Amino acid sequence: MRKRYLIEIAPNHQLIVFCPPQLIKEKTIKRIAFGSKSMEVDFRPHPDKNDRIVISKAIQKAIHFPSFSIPLHIFLEKEILYIGPLVGIFTAGFTQIQEQPIGERTLFFSKLLSVNKEVGAIAYLFGEQHIDWERGIIEGVFYYDSSWHHFEVPFPNVIYDRLPNRRSEGNPKLIKVKNRLQKDCLIPWYNPGFFNKLDIYERLQQDGSVEAYLPETHSFTSFSLVERMLSNYGHVYIKPKNGSLGLGVHQIIYDKSTSEYFCRYQDDEGINRLRKFSSLERLFHSIFSNQSLEKMLVQQGIHLQRHDSRSIDFRIHTNKDDSGLWHVTAIAAKIAGAGSVTTHTRSGGAIKTIEEIFPKEECELFTKKLSNAALLLSKAIDKNISGIIGEIGFDLGIDRNGEVWLFEANSKPGRSIFSHPELKPFDLLTRRLSLAFAVFLTEQSLFHPEELFK
The Cα–Cα gap between 158 and 65 comes to 16
Query: In this predicted structure, what is the pLDDT of residue 244?
Result: 66
Let me know whether 409 and 315 are in one domain. yes
Query: In this predicted structure, what is the pLDDT of residue 349?
Result: 75
Residue 25 sits in a domain whose CATH number is 2.40.40
Number of Cα atoms under 13 Å in the Cβ half of residue 124: 29
Let me know whether 316 and 382 are in one domain. yes
Other Cβ atoms within 10 Å of 42 Cβ, number:
11
- Taking only the tens place, the pLDDT of each residue in 244-269 is 666 788 999 999 999 999 999 888 88
Q: Is the model's pLDDT at 50 over the cut of 90?
A: no
The model's confidence at residue 196, banded by pLDDT at 50, 70 and 90, is confident
Q: Is the model's pLDDT at 1 over the cut of 60?
A: no
User: How many whole angstroms from its chain centre is CA 176?
Assistant: 22
Let me know whether 335 and 236 are in one domain. no
The Cα–Cα gap between 248 and 185 comes to 39
Would you give the DSSP letter of residue 182? I
Mean pLDDT rounded to a whole number for the chain: 92
Would you give the DSSP letter of residue 219? E
Let me know whether 311 and 427 are in one domain. yes
Query: In this predicted structure, what is the pLDDT of residue 22?
Result: 87
Structural domain count, the chain: 4
Beta strand extents in 175-259 (DSSP E only)? 189-190, 217-219, 235-240, 250-255
Interval 65-70 mean pLDDT: 91
Interval 396-419 mean pLDDT: 93
Q: Is the model's pLDDT at 408 over the cut of 80?
A: yes
Let me know whether 319 and 383 are in one domain. yes
The model's confidence at residue 340, banded by pLDDT at 50, 70 and 90, is low
Spatial CA neighbour of 1 closest among 427, 441, 439? 439
Domain that holds residue 383: 197-213+304-441
Structural domain contains residue 452? no
Number of Cα atoms under 13 Å in the Cβ half of residue 66: 24
Structural domain contains residue 447? no
